[in-house]
Chains A and B, each alone.
Chain A
Amino acid sequence: MIKFFVWFLALQAGLFGLELTPWAQQWFVVPWTNTLAAISASIVKLFDPEVISHGKVLQSTSSGFAVSIEAGCNGVEATIVLVAAILSFPAKWSRKLIGLAAGVVAVQGLNIVRVISLFYLGQWNFNVFEWAHLYVWQALIMLDVLIVWLLWVRTLPRAAPAVSA
């Protein structure tokens, strides 16, 4: 358990530090955030055609209201935590890769729900938007990470007891 936490904290700090570098921002974080805005807009357009995305901004063309997806809301940090938790836990690499693929989809899927919900909450009531944005959704995304990790751990087979010859 101690080894797991040491690896988890080290990996998490390392990946987070890497995320903050200009290189990672330019080649990964900004393109991903723009893609997230585009995906969110394409989903919203299914029931609300007056929504566009430009860069990291999701905007209503009718009301002019817009949300900009900033650090902490693009799901990158939550993904880093999940990646660190899965990579640090003792398991076969094949299972880690499956967990990472499914987990990233789960975390980013919920993050799209967060972006879209905040987009509409902001147009309805700014105080509710602030509460959901600053506190509630942050906690929910981390709960999602925790639950995904728990589900993944549950899928791991228990190690066979060591046999001494």
Chain B
Amino acid sequence: MRASLARFILRVAAWLPLTFAIWYLAAPLLAWPVALLAELFMKSAFGDLIRGVEQSGALLTFITSLKPAQGTLPGAARAVVSAESNVLLFSFGFPMLAALILAAREPHLVRHLLVGYFVLLPFQTWGVVVDVLKNVVILAPPAISAQTGFDSWQREVIVFAYQFGSLILPTVAPAIVWVLMHRRFLENFATQARGGTAQTPSATGAEHSR
């Protein structure tokens, strides 16, 4: 290992402001595949529930086939319900991953960044999809949510999937991706601490008890 943990942490801290700034400025572009994947998944999995997705920056608006409650809006008979989701809320782990990749200074930086971005897309899509489902199935007024036809157990699954997709996945998925892409870095890192020189790409060399 070329540098100590302290130097690695400092490099991560130095890269974070830049990666966050680029991620924010490039959000409309970075969020575009998420919009496509989310629309594809929603139309495949939930049939007629979603008519289309509109993107404005990192904000996705899902046009549903659900009708507003009668009498709540003028012209409600022709209106449909829409639900919004902000991709930034589920993609902020990417600048964290980028900072970790850049700070590790391993070969193939660009390839790692691209792989990391594409690997995280399904997790970001998960967040957006369950966010939209939460909005129309759980948070919408009963007159609207009843039209979705979800059973109570399906609502429970949506609540769990939303909590997992918003509280755990956005940060854990990038950390896992980084660990998987930098196994040799981590092995060297551990070996250096023990005063060794081994460079085996395995993280199972520690003592076992399980």
Scoring A residues 101 to 145 as 1 if CB is less than 8 Å from chain B, else 0, what string do you get?
Answer: 000000000000000000000000000000000111011011101
B172 touches A81 (CB 8 A): yes
Q: Which of A7, A12, A156, A158 has the most CB of B within 10 A?
A: A158
A142 touches B171 (CB 8 A): yes
Scoring B residues 48 to 63 as 1 if CB is less than 8 Å from chain A, else 0, what string do you get?
Answer: 0000000000000000
| Cβ of B160 under 8 Å from chain A | yes
| Cβ of B38 under 8 Å from chain A | no
A136 touches B20 (CB 8 A): yes
A154 touches B190 (CB 8 A): yes
> Which of these, B20, B96, B167, B194, contacts A157 with CB under 8 Å?
B194
| Cβ of A151 under 8 Å from chain B | yes
Q: Which of A1, A93, A95, A155 has the most CB of B within 10 A?
A: A1
A13-21, A33-41, A51-59, A61-69 - interface stretch: A13-21
B208 touches A158 (CB 8 A): no
Complex CA gap A3/B203 in Å reads 11
Q: Which residues of B sit under 8 angstroms from A147, Cβ to Cβ?
A: 5, 9
> Which of these, B89, B167, B176, B180, contacts A77 with CB under 8 Å?
B167
| Cβ of B196 under 8 Å from chain A | yes
A138 touches B170 (CB 8 A): yes
Scoring A residues 18 to 38 as 1 if CB is less than 8 Å from chain B, else 0, what string do you get?
Answer: 001000000000000000000
| Cβ of B121 under 8 Å from chain A | no
**In the complex where A81-B172, A134-B89 touch, is A159 in contact with B167 (Cβ < 8 A)?**
no
> Which of these, A4, A72, A89, contacts B167 with CB under 8 Å?
A72
Q: Which residues of B sit under 8 angstroms from A157, Cβ to Cβ?
A: 194, 206-207
Complex CA gap A146/B180 in Å reads 13
B92 touches A134 (CB 8 A): yes
B205 touches A142 (CB 8 A): no
B92 touches A139 (CB 8 A): yes
Chain A interface size range:
35 or more
A92 touches B170 (CB 8 A): no
> Which of these, B164, B183, B186, contacts A16 with CB under 8 Å?
B164
Complex CA gap A93/B178 in Å reads 26
A90 touches B183 (CB 8 A): no
Which residues of B from 143 to 179 have beta carbons under 8 Å from A?
159-160, 163-164, 166-168, 170-172, 174-176, 178-179
| Cβ of B101 under 8 Å from chain A | no
> Which of these, B12, B20, B160, contacts A143 with CB under 8 Å?
B12
Which residues of B from 121 to 147 have beta carbons under 8 Å from A?
none
B105 to chain A, nearest CB (A): 16
**In the complex where A20-B160, A72-B166 touch, is A90 in contact with B95 (Cβ < 8 A)?**
no
A91 touches B206 (CB 8 A): yes
| Cβ of B93 under 8 Å from chain A | yes
Q: Which residues of B sit under 8 angstroms from A155, Cβ to Cβ?
A: 193
Q: Other than A71-B163, A158-B205, give 5 A-B pairs with Cβ distance below 8 A.
A: A90-B206, A95-B207, A139-B20, A154-B189, A158-B191
Q: Which residues of A contact B (CB under 8 A)?
A: 1, 3-5, 7, 12-13, 16-17, 20, 71-72, 77, 80-81, 89-93, 95, 134-136, 138-139, 141-143, 145-147, 150-151, 153-159
Q: Which residues of B contact A (CB under 8 A)?
A: 5, 9, 12, 16, 20, 88-89, 92-93, 95-96, 100, 159-160, 163-164, 166-168, 170-172, 174-176, 178-180, 183, 186, 189-191, 193-194, 196, 202-210
